[in-house]
Chains A and B, each alone.
Chain A
Amino acid sequence: MAWANIALLGVGGLLVSVPVLIHFLMQPKPVEVVFPAMRFLKEKQLINRSRNRLRHLLLMLLRCILIGLLVLALAGPSVASQQFGKWLTFGGISFIAAMLGIVLAFSALSGNANKLFNGILATMLAMVVGLAGWYGLKLFDDEDSGQLLGDDGEPVSALVLLDTSPTMQYQQQNETRLTEAAGIAKWIVEQFPVGSQICVASVAGDQPFFSVDGAAAVRRIESLKTSYAPRTIPETLADAWTLVEKSPLQRKEVYVISDLTRAGWAVSGSQAALNRLAEDKGVGVFVVDVGVEDPVDFSLGSLELSTRKVTTNGSIEVSASVNRIGAASQRTVQLTVEKPDTSRPVVRDGKALFPENTWSKTQTIDIRENGQAKTKLEFQESLPPGVYHGKVEIVGSDPLAVNDQQYFTFEVSEPWQALTVSPVGTDATVIRSVIAPQSLGNASFEETSITQQTLSEMKSLDQFQAVFLVDPGPLAEETWQMLEDHVVAGGGLAIFLGHNAAGLNGLPDPSFFNPTARKLLTGSLTVQFHCPDRSTEPFLLSPSGLQHPILAPFRRVSGSIPWYRNPVFTFWGIEPDNNEEEKLPTGTVINFSNFEPALIERQIGLGRVVVMTTPVSEPANLRDRETWNQLRYADMQAWASFVVLHGIARYIVNADSDSLDIKVGQVASLTNDLTRYPDTWAVFSPDPEKPPAKVGTVGGNVSYRFTDTPGHYRLKGALDGPVLRGFSANLDPASIDMTRIEPDELDKVLGAGRYQLAKQKDEITRQQGHARKGREFYPLLMMMLFAAIMIEYLVSNRFYKA
């Protein structure tokens, strides 16, 4: 507790004794009268005299309190804001104790009340006095933690943290939240006394530092821009506070200017610094709310592309959800794809220029109030090979425009060349029907079928991106080697093992045990597994998860995949090789229901091998042997095996390997085949003001980490002519959540009662005053003084009525 005029307390102590003196020296003179019927008065004399004395004492007490309150008010006591409530509680308990004491005194001396009543009163009084004593001791013991920080003119070590997350782009009254926040921050900085240390921080992730002076701090505030990959406020605050708490200045203040949306306040990482801040009650913490109570917004969800890599005659389908906060409305969604322009991007006059011509498609959708609508746009053009950038956006005005568009990038290539190899007598048409269906003229693959004999005569597989070995029979060592070379060079190989691999007594043919074959097969064939009962207990494909890219198409229907429509009766067991020398990445993609592997993948060199332990070429009925499975014969219900086959085909040609769409802030990494692409690239950011950055190939990849702006990132290199690649960076729609943080969540971050919440400048000023000079008791004391005067007036009038 601090006092404005502590000297007055001493004088006041003397003044309080005045009513006592008056009480004894100038007791009121009674009116003298003659009264004959005295004997009726004498009987009550004792009781009434005590009551009278009590009344006088009460009056004296009231007058002492009156003077005491006046002296207290003039002495100007104040306590730290966070202690104010506790002092009020202490005052309240003391008041109750005083009232109980007075009532007990009256009751005891008047003789009217019985002993039980007095006993109850005395017990209550004892309890309340005990409580007041305990609370008082605790309060005085705790008082150091709520020290006051002197007057407004003392230099301050201040942290001004601006929330620069994307939601701060929300416009209200033609002003974004960030602009308003910056205005308030500048105003706050200008208020700081000369000599103050000011750290302006944002959630962009910069290292916190003290500005040279106030003007530098203002310039720093003016330079702050929206952070599309923001850190959370608690994280930033923890880092910045670590700097500010070391300041030698005694007075420290923290200002957090935010729209108080939930995403920005998520607690993550170490809480140690925040706990120190919460415990240091000498630090004034102010949260300035520049948010909007009832926002309205359109937002676009993450894009879902049917494929990231299409062939020249392929099509791409883009779907997304359109979300609405606010009243029902209609909006147009537009898909645009940039037309190829090898002259762009280019820097002119210090500014990057991007292709301007686009294809576009639009769709109008109706969205319910606070609802969601789906949009699906198909794009098909005859495109030359290359990388294409597209964008889906909600057309029209929106207070928060930052989440109205999503970017995508896809690659167009020539159709992949696929070679299907099968022994004579094995029908491999299923592969063709999956990867290059005759009915579609725009298949991603161009398929060539040959026999196993033909394969053994071939010298190279360079012209094929994918080779499918369908139920292979024994192969020569050279053929296995040729297949390995094909994979090592980046080609894809899919092997579907079947009855042709069996030698004597159904055991594997020895040719499958040579080292190259085992390398490609990921291990040694062991025995054939037969299901216990073909009709009731067949094996089923039973993937443990759908994370693998081959299984990606199943993700949308994960709960209703009809695996049971494709029963498997026999498959080859594979004993994995130890693979200790080369440590080739190997994994099981799909298991059977008995946990034996059904589909295994292995990365060898630049290419991939996928081995299926049961064939896909089995006819339904055979005369000389039992069929191994029913994967080939699919109908509308038994589509799962076809989807797996399709996934295998795309996987081995690396159709979806490069992540062409990333989230803002993530590192983009593209495979850089030096046979096709240059070694170094110039990366153009979506921000045309930003100069292109040069990146080189490292480990076969080209990486770029400064993806801090949503949009298209274009890689421009040169071989014989300009070569263009690129990728897109998008905001995570989940990170743009306008939901406001609840007070208890804010309490968890900053500590309950440890911060002052303000919206307007005058509120900030008042809160600053409370934190710096504490909460003054003057108004409260004056009110109590007024009440005491009134009571004294009433009591004295009542007692001395003539």
Chain B
Amino acid sequence: MSVEKYLKPEVINQIKRLDLRAQFVVKGFLHGLHASPFQGFSVEFSEHRRYAQGDDLKDIDWQVYAKTDKYYVKKFEAETNITGYLVMDLSSSMGYTYQQTLTKFDYAVCLAAALAYLMVQQLDPVGLVTFNDKIRASLAPRSKRTQLANLLTLLSKAKPDGTTDFKQSMQQLAAMLKTRSLIMVFSDFLVDEQETLDALYRIRHGGHDVILFHVLDEAEVTFPFRGLYKMTDPETGDELKIDGDGFRADYVKQIEAFRENLNRECRKSGIDYVPLDTSMQFDKALLGYLLSRRARG
């Protein structure tokens, strides 16, 4: 069985353990990379850490040696290690799924776990922040292997709930950041668009790199509703009776405009924007991360 299939959300959904999910996603992704234009990046990734004969001994990172009993070149670590923050939106809208497979939150968690796994594999410190109307939980960045287990435990316990206050949550996050970090935000951004962008500008202004993983449910992108529906907003509780056929064209146009606008505004301020929906394979998100990381490497 090919490991690429683990990049499919419906397959990953069958795997209940989050650590396995992350492992499968990353392995599937890496397997794909070997046969991709990113092969060079992949080789550099797997070989550059080891100490080789002829390397300068002063460049050996003894701390890593103490942890892993392996020699790593210190200079390399100084150049490439990035502190990453996985910032998860925990609002109730993230718990939405139309097809009853992966919720947006599940998708985001799966993706975050995979990224965490990947980063830990690279000995990059990775931390976690969950928020809805404010920051609900956080895990300081570490590059230890145990960090992954802690992170996954926290992620698996998180349940989407409450409303979103993205602005305040980001303000709190900004205050938490000590060093230049890579902030990976997983959210549906179904909040005020300008507030979202303002908050992200602030973090970006603090010298941090930001990747936005804009996770939407497949139904939120394609609007598959036909006929009469009574729709309820999970966060506000607002209700609306609609005729799906009448709304569809307008809705799809609006959501595309929304995503396009986010993309445009993010690009202006150097923020990477990765639009996703729960039907998409995980490699797109991982690739977004790797591209961002290489740009910084």
Q: How far is the CB of B247 from chain A (nearest CB, A)?
A: 6
Cα separation A802 to B229 with both chains bound (whole Å): 9
Judging by beta carbons under 8 Å apart, are A36 and B190 in contact?
yes
Cα separation A414 to B65 with both chains bound (whole Å): 169
Judging by beta carbons under 8 Å apart, are B225 and A28 in contact?
no
A37 within 8 A of B: yes
Q: How far is the CB of A633 from chain B (nearest CB, A)?
A: 111
What residues on B are CB-neighbors of A41 within 8 Å?
Answer: 231, 240, 242, 247, 251
B228 within 8 A of A: yes
Interface size on A, residues (CB 8 A): 28
**Please, what's the 1-or-0 string for B221-240, where 1 marks a CB less than 8 Å from any CB in chain A?**
00001111111111110101
Which of A47-55, A77-85, A137-145, A546-554 lies at the binding interface?
Answer: A47-55
Interface size on B, residues (CB 8 A): 34
* In the complex, chain A residues 11-59 whose Cβ is within 8 Å of any chain B Cβ: 28-45, 48-49, 51-52, 55
A798 within 8 A of B: yes
What residues on B are CB-neighbors of A39 within 8 Å?
Answer: 190
SS class, residues of chain A in contact with chain B: mixed
Q: How far is the CB of A515 from chain B (nearest CB, A)?
A: 119
* In the complex, chain B residues 71-115 whose Cβ is within 8 Å of any chain A Cβ: 93, 96, 98
* In the complex, chain A residues 316-360 whose Cβ is within 8 Å of any chain B Cβ: none
Q: How far is the CB of A44 from chain B (nearest CB, A)?
A: 5
What residues on B are CB-neighbors of A801 within 8 Å?
Answer: 226-227, 245
B59 within 8 A of A: no
A799 within 8 A of B: yes
Judging by beta carbons under 8 Å apart, are B96 and A36 in contact?
yes
Judging by beta carbons under 8 Å apart, are A34 and B254 in contact?
no
Judging by beta carbons under 8 Å apart, are B228 and A35 in contact?
no
Q: How far is the CB of B162 from chain A (nearest CB, A)?
A: 13
B258 within 8 A of A: yes
A38 interface neighbour in B225, B226, B238, B246, Cβ under 8 Å: B238
Q: How far is the CB of B237 from chain A (nearest CB, A)?
A: 10
Judging by beta carbons under 8 Å apart, are B190 and A48 in contact?
no
The residue in chain B whose Cβ has the minimal distance to the Cβ of A29 is B228
A44 interface neighbour in B98, B219, B227, B251, Cβ under 8 Å: B251
B246 interface neighbour in A36, A52, A802, Cβ under 8 Å: A52
Judging by beta carbons under 8 Å apart, are A799 and B247 in contact?
no
What residues on B are CB-neighbors of A44 within 8 Å?
Answer: 247, 250-251
Cα separation A34 to B217 with both chains bound (whole Å): 12
Judging by beta carbons under 8 Å apart, are B231 and A33 in contact?
yes
The residue in chain B whose Cβ has the minimal distance to the Cβ of A55 is B243
Judging by beta carbons under 8 Å apart, are A32 and B226 in contact?
no
**Please, what's the 1-or-0 string for B246-287, where 1 marks a CB less than 8 Å from any CB in chain A?**
110011001100100000000000000000000000000000
Judging by beta carbons under 8 Å apart, are A798 and B251 in contact?
no
* In the complex, chain A residues 746-798 whose Cβ is within 8 Å of any chain B Cβ: 798
The residue in chain A whose Cβ has the minimal distance to the Cβ of B220 is A37
What residues on B are CB-neighbors of A32 within 8 Å?
Answer: 229-232
A33 interface neighbour in B225, B238, B251, Cβ under 8 Å: B225
B229 interface neighbour in A33, A40, A49, A55, Cβ under 8 Å: A33
B232 interface neighbour in A34, A45, A52, A798, Cβ under 8 Å: A34
Judging by beta carbons under 8 Å apart, are A31 and B228 in contact?
yes
Give the number of residue pairs across the A-B interface with Cβ within 8 Å.
Answer: 99
The residue in chain B whose Cβ has the minimal distance to the Cβ of A40 is B254
Cα separation A97 to B245 with both chains bound (whole Å): 28
Q: How far is the CB of B195 from chain A (nearest CB, A)?
A: 13
SS class, residues of chain B in contact with chain A: mixed
Q: How far is the CB of A645 from chain B (nearest CB, A)?
A: 108
Cα separation A30 to B230 with both chains bound (whole Å): 5
Cα separation A26 to B69 with both chains bound (whole Å): 75
B200 within 8 A of A: no
Cα separation A40 to B222 with both chains bound (whole Å): 13
Judging by beta carbons under 8 Å apart, are A37 and B255 in contact?
yes
What residues on A are CB-neighbors of B220 within 8 Å?
Answer: 35-37
Judging by beta carbons under 8 Å apart, are A31 and B230 in contact?
yes
Q: How far is the CB of B100 from chain A (nearest CB, A)?
A: 12
What residues on B are CB-neighbors of A52 within 8 Å?
Answer: 228, 241-243, 246
B98 interface neighbour in A28, A33, A49, A55, Cβ under 8 Å: A33
B234 interface neighbour in A36, A49, A51, Cβ under 8 Å: A36
What residues on B are CB-neighbors of A798 within 8 Å?
Answer: 245
The residue in chain A whose Cβ has the minimal distance to the Cβ of B233 is A38
Judging by beta carbons under 8 Å apart, are A800 and B227 in contact?
yes
B216 within 8 A of A: yes
B188 within 8 A of A: yes
Judging by beta carbons under 8 Å apart, are A36 and B241 in contact?
no
Judging by beta carbons under 8 Å apart, are A35 and B254 in contact?
no
What residues on B are CB-neighbors of A28 within 8 Å?
Answer: 228
Cα separation A13 to B93 with both chains bound (whole Å): 51
Cα separation A30 to B255 with both chains bound (whole Å): 23
* A800 and B228 contact, Cβ closer than 8 Å, known pairs A36-B220, A48-B247: yes
Q: How far is the CB of A700 from chain B (nearest CB, A)?
A: 106
Q: How far is the CB of B244 from chain A (nearest CB, A)?
A: 8
What residues on A are CB-neighbors of B228 within 8 Å?
Answer: 28-31, 52, 799-800
What residues on B are CB-neighbors of A30 within 8 Å?
Answer: 227-230, 241-242
Q: How far is the CB of B230 from chain A (nearest CB, A)?
A: 4
Judging by beta carbons under 8 Å apart, are A36 and B233 in contact?
yes
The residue in chain A whose Cβ has the minimal distance to the Cβ of B244 is A801
Cα separation A57 to B254 with both chains bound (whole Å): 28
The residue in chain B whose Cβ has the minimal distance to the Cβ of A27 is B228
What residues on A are CB-neighbors of B232 within 8 Å?
Answer: 32-35
Cα separation A799 to B247 with both chains bound (whole Å): 12
What residues on A are CB-neighbors of B258 within 8 Å?
Answer: 40
Point out which of A28, A29, A33, A55 has the most chain B C-beta atoms below 10 A from its C-beta: A33
Q: How far is the CB of B224 from chain A (nearest CB, A)?
A: 11
What residues on B are CB-neighbors of A40 within 8 Å?
Answer: 251, 254-255, 258
B188 interface neighbour in A36, A42, A55, A800, Cβ under 8 Å: A36
Q: How far is the CB of B104 from chain A (nearest CB, A)?
A: 8
Cα separation A45 to B242 with both chains bound (whole Å): 8
Q: How far is the CB of A47 from chain B (nearest CB, A)?
A: 8
Judging by beta carbons under 8 Å apart, are B247 and A34 in contact?
no
Judging by beta carbons under 8 Å apart, are B229 and A51 in contact?
no
What residues on B are CB-neighbors of A55 within 8 Å?
Answer: 243
Judging by beta carbons under 8 Å apart, are B245 and A49 in contact?
no
A35 interface neighbour in B227, B233, B245, B250, Cβ under 8 Å: B233
Judging by beta carbons under 8 Å apart, are A38 and B251 in contact?
no
What residues on B are CB-neighbors of A800 within 8 Å?
Answer: 227-228
Judging by beta carbons under 8 Å apart, are B235 and A48 in contact?
no
The residue in chain B whose Cβ has the minimal distance to the Cβ of A38 is B233
Cα separation A45 to B233 with both chains bound (whole Å): 14
What residues on A are CB-neighbors of B234 within 8 Å?
Answer: 34, 36
The residue in chain B whose Cβ has the minimal distance to the Cβ of A110 is B246
Q: How far is the CB of B261 from chain A (nearest CB, A)?
A: 12
Q: How far is the CB of A295 from chain B (nearest CB, A)?
A: 67
What residues on A are CB-neighbors of B216 within 8 Å?
Answer: 37
Cα separation A31 to B244 with both chains bound (whole Å): 10
Cα separation A40 to B233 with both chains bound (whole Å): 11
Cα separation A38 to B219 with both chains bound (whole Å): 12
Cα separation A35 to B239 with both chains bound (whole Å): 9
The residue in chain A whose Cβ has the minimal distance to the Cβ of B243 is A52
Q: How far is the CB of B192 from chain A (nearest CB, A)?
A: 9
Judging by beta carbons under 8 Å apart, are B246 and A34 in contact?
no
Point out which of A28, A39, A800 has the most chain B C-beta atoms below 10 A from its C-beta: A39
Q: How far is the CB of A196 from chain B (nearest CB, A)?
A: 65
Binding site for A on B (CB under 8 A): 93, 96, 98, 188, 190, 216-217, 219-220, 225-236, 238, 240-243, 245-247, 250-251, 254-255, 258
Q: A30-B242, A37-B220 are in contact. List 14 more A-B contacts (CB 8 A).
A: A30-B229, A35-B229, A35-B231, A36-B220, A36-B235, A40-B251, A43-B250, A43-B254, A48-B242, A48-B250, A52-B241, A52-B246, A799-B227, A801-B227
**19 pairs, A vs B, C-beta closer than 8 Å:** A28-B228, A30-B241, A32-B229, A33-B225, A33-B229, A33-B230, A34-B232, A34-B233, A37-B255, A38-B231, A38-B233, A38-B238, A40-B254, A40-B258, A41-B251, A43-B250, A43-B254, A45-B240, A799-B245
Closest 5 CB pairs of A and B: A36-B93, A30-B228, A30-B230, A35-B231, A38-B233
